Structure 1
């Protein structure tokens, strides 16, 4: 198996899995549907195309910089007649950074990597108002998903790294195959169809790993423990 790694970081990102009508939520970490949609856009797939080959990829996220929830109110006018549309509430993640990985057969992963190096369509972090960073693609490693997320370098922003201690402990959330201890939950973020007239999502099992990724911080502050160390030992 090989694992493709992505740095999902920016001023704003949004990863909704339960949005309804005028209230548009975001999860606290990237969704599988959002990342697979980003990959499909890099490949140039129309929304109506099948994505069955992508659904077998094992997905995981390391929370390198948790960010904060931001709420925004938006208004809009219909272009055809100028009618005022309902006020909507949209939630975003501000100043967050994640290392996302997809694991699959080496040949498939290599093809995805080539598409991400030269994407066909513009890439976004969940919504069109949230462009992907220039260093989105972080490469492919010949390792399984958990090992890749546990050992790859810390991808938080420099200003965030300067605030933290010499060692950081980072949470990892992955597709659950029943082999790793941790907190188990479900998420409805596996895309059955991206077709605009009928988007469909199904459930997946997720595990928040008991073991955190422990990494060095070369821009560490001089005093005290970092946030993740304090939280993990509380």
Structure 2
């Protein structure tokens, strides 16, 4: 097993979990497994209807470090207003709504997440190749939300989870409180930490984002558990905001020069 590291950052992100095709399109406060597996499948050119092609991603384990949770933004939308009835939004019965469809769409603004992706070595190699030269471009939950660079932080890491604690620069400023050698950061894990681990205390979250099928007319998801922890990371990973991009680029390029 090995893995890779992704940095999910951008002006807007939106990670839908419960609200498909409803007037309010909500966002989860963190990247969902469904969205991330969808990103990998799209990068590899796997069609939405290829349910069998999703099986290999069951081997993938994801850990999310929340560098910046972002701010919730709700965007007001109308669809199909100001047109004759025959040009307004269609209904499932084949007629037209004869009015604008009003929806609200939620986004996270200025959020930053770092994701440790752990998988068998051969699958890691495939994912890296696909994310560097994707069949369909990756986006942060919706096509209108492209990721910032650097996106693929590391292409091969022996222990991606540990790298989140010890290596990846924090995309948040160093706290004003200068005491102590560590900073407390939120993590979302798919497996509980061992009870012997001093960071073991966790909140258990039930989510419905395990992809079963992405078929357009037969989307299906299963539930899973997430373990939310607050864990200490080295203060050395944080720094002045002005130096963040330089630190990230240096970190990403260190792999190439190693």
| TM-score normalized by the length of structure 2 | 0.77
Match of 2:39? 38
CA 1:97/1:82 → structure 2, altered by over 3 Å: closer, same or farther?
Answer: same
Q: Do the aligned partners of 1:2 and 1:140 also contact (CA within 8 Å) in 2?
A: no
Equivalent of 2:78, from 71, 75, 80? 75
Structure 1 gaps, min length 5 = 222-234
Match of 1:98? 113
Q: Do the aligned partners of 1:98 and 1:155 also contact (CA within 8 Å) in 2?
A: no
- Please tell me whether residue 193 in structure 1 is matched to residue 213 in structure 2: yes
- The number of equivalent residue pairs is 218
Distance in 2, matches of 1:153 and 1:43, equals: 26
CA 1:165/1:127 → structure 2, altered by over 3 Å: closer, same or farther?
Answer: farther
CA 1:219/1:17 → structure 2, altered by over 3 Å: closer, same or farther?
Answer: same
Deviation at 1:60, TM superposition (A): 1.3
- Please tell me whether residue 66 in structure 1 is matched to residue 69 in structure 2: yes
Which stretch shows the higher mean deviation, 4-13 or 172-181?
Answer: 172-181
Deviation at 1:190, TM superposition (A): 0.7
Match of 2:155? 140
Q: Do the aligned partners of 2:174 and 2:235 also contact (CA within 8 Å) in 1?
A: no
Deviation at 1:155, TM superposition (A): 4.7
Distance in 2, matches of 1:207 and 1:104, equals: 19
Match of 1:230? none
CA 1:163/1:76 → structure 2, altered by over 3 Å: closer, same or farther?
Answer: farther
CA 1:66/1:43 → structure 2, altered by over 3 Å: closer, same or farther?
Answer: same
Larger Rg: 2
| TM-score normalized by the length of structure 1 | 0.84
Q: Do the aligned partners of 1:169 and 1:212 also contact (CA within 8 Å) in 2?
A: yes
CA 1:162/1:174 → structure 2, altered by over 3 Å: closer, same or farther?
Answer: closer
Deviation at 1:92, TM superposition (A): 0.4
Deviations 1:22-48 (A, max 9, x none): 111111111111111111111111111
CA 1:119/1:215 → structure 2, altered by over 3 Å: closer, same or farther?
Answer: farther
Distance in 1, matches of 2:129 and 2:176, equals: 35
CA RMSD of aligned residues (A): 2.4
CA 1:52/1:164 → structure 2, altered by over 3 Å: closer, same or farther?
Answer: farther
Deviation at 1:152, TM superposition (A): 2.9
SS class of match (2:162): helix
SS class of match (1:211): strand
Trace 1:151-166 onto structure 2 (pairs within 5 A): 151-156=166-171, 160-161=172-173
Deviations 1:5-28 (A, max 9, x none): 111000000011111411111111
Distance in 2, matches of 1:135 and 1:214, equals: 21
CA 1:164/1:68 → structure 2, altered by over 3 Å: closer, same or farther?
Answer: farther
Structure 2 gaps, min length 5 = 89-98, 243-258
CA 1:198/1:64 → structure 2, altered by over 3 Å: closer, same or farther?
Answer: same
